[in-house]
Amino acid sequence: MKKLTLIITLALLTICYIDTAAQEVITIQQAIENTLNNNLQIKKSRLSEDVAFENFRQSRLAIYPSLNAGLNQDMGWGRNNLGNTGIYENTQNYSFRPGASASVDIFNGFAKLNQIRQNKILLEVGKANTDKVKNDLILQVVTSYMDILYNRDRLKAARQQLEVANLQLKQQQELLDVGNKTLADIAETRALVATAELDVTTAENALSISLIILAQLMDIPSDTRYEVQAPSIDTFKEPTMVFSAEQVYQQALNIYPDIKLAGLRTASAKKDIDISKGGYFPRVTLSGSYGSFYNYNYNLSANENAHFWNQIKNNVSKGVGLGISIPIFNGLQTRITVKRAKINYMQYQVDEQLAKNNLNKIVYQAVADLKAARSTYESATKTFNARSEAFVVTEQRYNVGLVNSLDFNTSQTNRNKAEIDMIRAKYDLLFKAKVIDYYLGKQIVF
């Protein structure tokens, strides 16, 4: 029986080892790189960028002349009055008409030129949107990564608290057995254990959800088992610079992708007004044609039908035309189109100002959050130092028998929790400082 138990134990340990070894450890830089390489939002934005490039190229080619070639052949039969003789005969005819034509817009109210300019702006819009998607995802990855670290420490603290609660229950049960405690005391302690178990379950769920969120951002299967590596706190340096919210905002206005994107969309809408106004102007078109004709009558002999190449050569026709189309009245369609373009332009102006207002709000909030995080870190550090000193005293008293095991474990747990809070405050302060770098256009690196 003992041998069987030993075999089962070794098997379980082997399975646990294999499962743990299979889990990939991902650094925050790897998480960012995986997201930038795999995320479908970025791929979709790049495809939209490719479409914008093709639209730009198409508008540039539209200013060149159009050239078309054609071949028409017809066959007809029926009764015809040949030569107006009054005699009708059944006839069969075959005709062949090769030709080519070309046309070019000489003037169209600068609509094509303005379309090129607008499509060039829209190409920049596509690139700016890709940058925006990347930046937003990087910030989401960093936030999710920090959530994982927070929830992992939260789970560690909850498990430690459960251990203390179980020790307290064990002590209360021993006191009840000797008559120094009542059943009410046991029930209260069991409630504390149940609460601690619930805290562990809640922390486990929160950690699982945060791992799934990061996996989805990286576009890897949600059930992928992996661990995250916390940034080294040994090299942690508290940010010493005191940021001015207004200075950060003014600098962010020039580099923040959201503002650049909103400005480009406004410029595109303004150019759309110029395109619409092209409908007020006359359109001048130059055209040319070149063609020939061949006809074969089956009722005539081969000698009576002229040779194919002779007919093609002798029936050549050429033409050049200049056309002017002057808009006089089209149901006020052009006027309405221009007015709609102007309204659309004003809407984008409002959107651009909203983007600036939103940036102002989040920058001021980010600077305030950094200040609060610095204060929290300082308080957490003081608390940890105080808990450490208290634990040293409790440990000394425990070693000489003046403190029981429950008080010793409680003091140790309080110290560990204070250390976790301090580490978490370090991470939070580091993250808040990186957020400021993000709005200043700096790369987020840990």
Establish if 144 belongs to a structural domain: yes
Domain that holds residue 344: 2-38+108-281+327-439
Which one has a higher pLDDT value, 98 or 235?
Answer: 98
Residue 81: strand pairing partners:
88
Closest by CA to 150, choosing from 431, 439, 446, is 431
Paired with 66 in beta bridges are 103
Render 40-62 in DSSP notation, one character per residue.
HHHHHHHHHHHHHHHHHHHHHHT
159-170 pLDDT, tens digit each: 988 888 888 888
User: 0.85 exceeded by the pTM?
Assistant: no
Encoding tokens for residue 262?
């909103």
Residue 183 has pLDDT above 50, yes or no: yes
Q: Which residues pair with 331 in a beta bridge?
A: none
Q: What is the mean pLDDT of residues 176-203?
A: 84
Q: Is the dihedral of CA 329, 334, 336, 342 positive or negative?
A: negative
CATH number (domain holding residue 208): 1.20.1600.10
State yes or no: pLDDT of 415 exceeds 50.
yes
- Please check whether residue 426 lies inside any domain of the structure: yes
DSSP summary character for residue 22: H
Domain presence at residue 95: no
How many domains does the chain contain in total? 1
Least Cα distance to 438 among 138, 43, 14 occurs for: 138
> How much is the pLDDT for 93?
83
Task: Tell me the C-alpha to C-alpha distance, in Å, between residue 440 and each of 97, 121, 256, 350.
Answer: 68, 24, 8, 24
Say if 27 falls within a structural domain: yes
Residue 337 contacts residue 276 (beta carbons within 8 Å): yes
Specify if 270 maps to a domain.
yes
How high is the pLDDT of residue 395?
85
In a domain, 171, yes or no: yes
Average pLDDT of the chain is 86
Question: Which is more confidently placed, 218 or 82?
Answer: 218
- Summarize pLDDT for 42-65 with one digit per residue, the tens: 999 999 999 999 999 999 999 999
Predicted pLDDT at 426: 86
Q: For 278-330, write each residue's pLDDT tens digit.
A: 999 999 999 999 999 998 877 666 676 788 888 889 899 999 999 999 898 88
Q: What is the pLDDT of residues 349-389, one digit of tens each?
A: 999 999 999 999 999 999 999 999 999 999 999 999 999 99
Q: Does residue 294 lie within any of the structural domains?
A: no
